[in-house]
Amino acid sequence: MTSTVQHAPPGLKGLVVARTRTGGVEGQEGFYHFREYSALDLSRHRSFEDVVHLMIEGHLPDAAESRAFADELAAASMLPHELLEQLLAIARSGPDRASLARLRTAVSLLGSVEDFPATYGATHEKVRAGVLRLVGVVPVLQAALFRLRAGMPPLEPRPELGAAGSWLWMLTGQEPAPEHAEAVTAYLISTVDHGFSASTFTARVVTSAGADVASAVCAALGTFSGPLHGGAPDRALDALDEIGTPDRARDWVRERVSKGERIMGFGHAVYRTTDPRAVLMREHAQRLGGPLAELAVAVEREVVGALAELKPGHELHTNVEYYAGVVMEQCGIPRAMFTPTFAVARVVGWGAHILEQTEDPRIIRPSAEYAGPPAPAPLP
């Protein structure tokens, strides 16, 4: 039988499957943007709330719009009483490393409690309300689950501290130092979106079926939890701990490469130069200072040099996870919450893509080519 199916590259690498206005990634140039603005410029000069407005509404807000939108996000962060009653049971479930699984469960329960409507046939305003609800409530849910698991009462968000300051407050119970809030703000903004990542594509596939916003975010969270996607900032920092001193770095890398292991925090599927997010996070790590930042910079130099020798032509540079872990450690975020902090930001990008996907109500339905034994075969 002759197949007329067009074959896509493995992993759909380099295949354009949609058009988007949310932003883009230029891997060869080491540049990425949200809408028409440099993501790094936004990270250095705008608030997280303003960048959420940009992604959801399509433009940067003026002062009045910024205040009104921040109030809208604050209202969207309140937890319903029915959900609060269940959070302790969710928080106590599973191993410590399953923080994203617990968040996924809580988001699924929220979707049931609040009966999010199907996106198919829904108005833009209805879908937008669902997106803002998830953007507002995800950090509150995640922080509450963390504190309840640790035997501490959850804390209400404090919008007056800004998104990053409120996040640090809800985790630690302490008002953050300004430089910590500034560094975490830069991290949250820089990781809001990043092209058609696996989790973003997942959110759009679920939305293309007409499912509700909570279902799309749950599916994206499941994808994001994989160590090849969002689940590596803590592992990169664990590697730094294991290396210990810069003079051990090259031997450590050689040993891992000889075993066929990935070096967490180095290399990227898109960039052929240093991840620009890593450049931003390195700036903040060095500004915050201390032995950890000094170790990270020295080890980066040694690891990049070793990888260049061991894998010539592969262009394995630092990615966002390496310095993100350093900055979060410097700012007092518990290691178990590194990847959840990433998710607090990325839910914004998922939401923007969910909204965009509803503009084209066609289900995403690719084909697969059968590669098993010839069919039909006689039954034994």
Catalytically annotated residues: 268, 321
In sequence order, the 6+-apart residues with CB closer than 8 A to the CB of 190 are 39, 40, 43, 277, 280, 281, 320, 345
26 strand-pairing partners: 31
Which helix or strand (DSSP H or E) is residue 37 part of?
strand 37-38
For residues 143 and 138, give the distance between their C-alpha atoms in angstroms, rounded to a whole number.
9
For residues 91 and 146, give the distance between their C-alpha atoms in angstroms, rounded to a whole number.
7
Q: Indicate the length of the chain as a whole number.
A: 380
3-state DSSP assignment of residue 33 = strand
Q: Terminal CA-to-CA distance of the chain, rounded, Å?
A: 24
Q: Which of 141, 156, 80, 75 is nearest to 115 (CA)?
A: 80
C-alpha to C-alpha distances, 48 to 108, 190, 267, nearest whole angstrom: 25, 9, 27
Rg of the chain over CA atoms, in angstroms?
21
Which helix or strand (DSSP H or E) is residue 38 part of?
strand 37-38
